[in-house]
Amino acid sequence: MKGKAQTQVITIVLISGILISLVGTAYFWGIPLISKRTSISDFLESEDFVVNLDKKIVDLANRGSGSFSLAIPKGLVRVEPYDSSNPNNNSIILEILVNQPLISNSSSVVLRTNVLGENATYGEAEPRIITMSSQSYNPGYKLTLKLHYRELDVKDDTKGYIIAIVRGSVTGSSEVVVSYGGTETSESMNGGDLIRTKIKVDVV
């Protein structure tokens, strides 16, 4: 009886050890996987927000009147106006924090944009360029999605168009409030008239 009891105790200890080992392995491999999936989900939600914001801004510029607001799903939005001396001028920038890196630090990738360059052809390229960059931000990583508006010039003509973001450098995490602000004319990159459609952007 004594030997049988000892065997049962040893069996329980072995089973407990195996279970602890399995739980530890699941935790070791499972937590990073969950974090990665969460980071990807956060990125996709943020990308959809930026793409949707651009679509609404372009529709507003084409319509020539009106306003709208859009809730910020996650993170902080910063506005850099058209006439800012900041290198990111004429941009709306969304910053979110994630647990896992999605791209290498300091690199930048282009999102959902078919033509690159600060100057492109009207009717062939989008009015904007969307990019994403990443950097370490203790204890995780900061993803920066930038919605930037560039000049579009008419082919075989000197006329150009641009969506000009107006308002001071502001930040917020609740919603973006956008309204039409009229048009102005200046000189385009190719020497002709540049028609600037002013879009007022506030962040709260």
Q: Is 67 among the domain residues?
A: yes
3-state secondary structure at position 179? strand
Q: Is 7 among the domain residues?
A: no
Domain carrying residue 47: 33-203
Q: Is 187 among the domain residues?
A: yes
Instruction: Give pTM, 2 decimals.
Output: 0.81
What is the percent of the chain with per-residue pLDDT over 70, rounded to a whole number?
81
Q: Is 5 among the domain residues?
A: no
Q: Is 6 among the domain residues?
A: no
pLDDT in tens, 127-140: 999 999 999 888 88
Q: Is 9 among the domain residues?
A: no
Distance (Å, rounded) from C-alpha 200 to C-alpha 148?
Answer: 14
The dihedral formed by the CA atoms of 100, 103, 106 and 108, expressed in degrees to the nearest 10: -140
The count of domains in the chain is 1
Distance (Å, rounded) from C-alpha 138 to C-alpha 110?
Answer: 25
Both tokens assigned to 72: 């910020």
| Helix H or strand E segment including 119 | strand 119-121
Distances (CA, A) of 74 to 43, 59, 129, 202: 10, 24, 21, 17
pLDDT in tens, 102-122: 887 667 899 999 999 999 999
Q: Is 121 among the domain residues?
A: yes
